[in-house]
Each structure stands twice: as C-alpha cells, then as structure tokens.
Amino acid sequence: QAEVDAKVAEYEKYTSLEMIEISFTAVTGIDLSVYDWDEIVEPKGKSNAMKSATESILNRGGKKNTKREILQSYNKYGLFGDPFIGTPDKVVDELEKWVDEYDIDGFNLGFKAVWPDNLEDIVDLIIPELQKRGLFWKDYPVKGGTFRENTFGKGQTFLHEDHPAYALRWQEGVSKEEFEKNLKAHEEERLARRS
C-alpha cells in the first residue's frame, strides 16, 4: 500500500486545477471559466451531458459548491464516486464486488495525469489478477495480435480502405512534410464538406 500511496502523491504533482477545469468542462458541458475560484457555481441554462452525475458533483455534500470545491472533488472522485485505488488485490476485489453485486459486464477505465503509467499498471498489475480469478479472458483469437486484429481478424492491422481516416496513414517513402501537407489538405476538405 505504501507504493500505491507514493504513486498517488507523485501523480498529484502533475495535476492542476486548470487542467481539471478543462476536463470537467469537456465532460459536463459546463464552462467553469466564468466563475471565480471561490464563487458558488450555479450554471445557467441546461446541459444534457451526464445530467445526474453532473448535478451530484455540483452539489456534493448536500450543498452548493464553489468552483474550487467542485474541481477538487472532481479530481478526487470523478463524476461517479470513489475511484478504485489500491494494491492489485484490493482493486480487483472492488471490481469483482461490482460485477457480483450489480451484474456489471465491463468497466470504462479512466486515467489520471500520467500516461502511459496508468495503462501499464492496468495491463501489468490488474489484468493478471483478473485473469487469475477467471474474470478476464486469456484466449484471444489472434495470439500475440493487436487489438485491431483481435477485433476484426488476423492481418487487419490498419483501418479498412472505406474508413475516412484510411487516407491519413503515414506510408513508407512519404516525408514528414508531405504527410503534414496531405493531412492539412484532408482536414480542409473535411471542414469544407461540413459547411
């Protein structure tokens, strides 16, 4: 547990209220930049973005909260409550409890400020413990294959030709400058089609 606590403390060094504010606004649709740090937040207008979760964080603790309180709470709990933080055994105990008690079929995993460390912890620590308990599969259709191959079949390592982003792959023999020029042209064409 000491290692977990040290890692959490280390991750907190990379977190700023400004960064959290951007994330909160992107997820909820509520622009907190119009409020002072210690001003009570009372959003004007309606947002349909995760309405009940958003309302719960705005009024956490049964009271109206300031911008600072909301962002500190959002950083600690996210929109949905206590994060699963602990040793692999403890985290998997909690995941297993949710599966058993609430009949959940899967989880959306969120990542804190340090990438790819968070993902590597899940792959190296959590997944093996889930597999040990029979809660995560080991028998992939394409052994050693990529996620895309295991989703779409062996050899499917890139987007299908009919996918809009297929033209954006960086091909052998194309310089960085050519690639960026083609990318910019593709983006301008896409934006022109939208308007």
Above 70 in pLDDT, residue 55?
yes
Q: How far apart are CA 140 and CA 194, in angstroms?
A: 40
Structural tokens at position 53: 């979760």
pLDDT of residue 50: 66
H or E element in which residue 156 lies = none
CA distance 112 to 139: 29
Cα–Cα distance list, 123 to 5, 72, 109, 193 (Å): 19, 28, 12, 40
Q: In the structure, what pLDDT confidence band is assigned to residue 189 with cuts at 50, 70 and 90?
A: confident
d(CA 8, CA 82): 14
User: At a CB cut-off of 8 Å and minimum separation 6, what does 1 contact?
Assistant: 86, 87
| Chain-centre distance for alpha carbon 52 | 19
Map residue 166 onto helix, strand or coil.
Answer: helix
Which two three-digit tokens encode residue 39? 């001003």
| Tokens (6 digits) for 21 | 């504010």
Instruction: Determine the average pLDDT of the residues in 156-165.
Output: 86
- Residue 66: φ, ψ to 5°: -80, 165
If one compares 117 and 17, the residue with the highest pLDDT of the two is: 17
Q: How far apart are CA 67 and CA 58, in angstroms?
A: 9
From the CA atom positions of the chain, what is the Rg in Å? 22
pLDDT score of 193 more than 70: yes
Strand partners, 66: 40
How confident is the model over 86-138, as pLDDT tens digits? 899 999 999 999 889 998 888 877 666 566 777 888 889 999 999 999 888 88
Structure confidence at residue 113 (pLDDT): 59
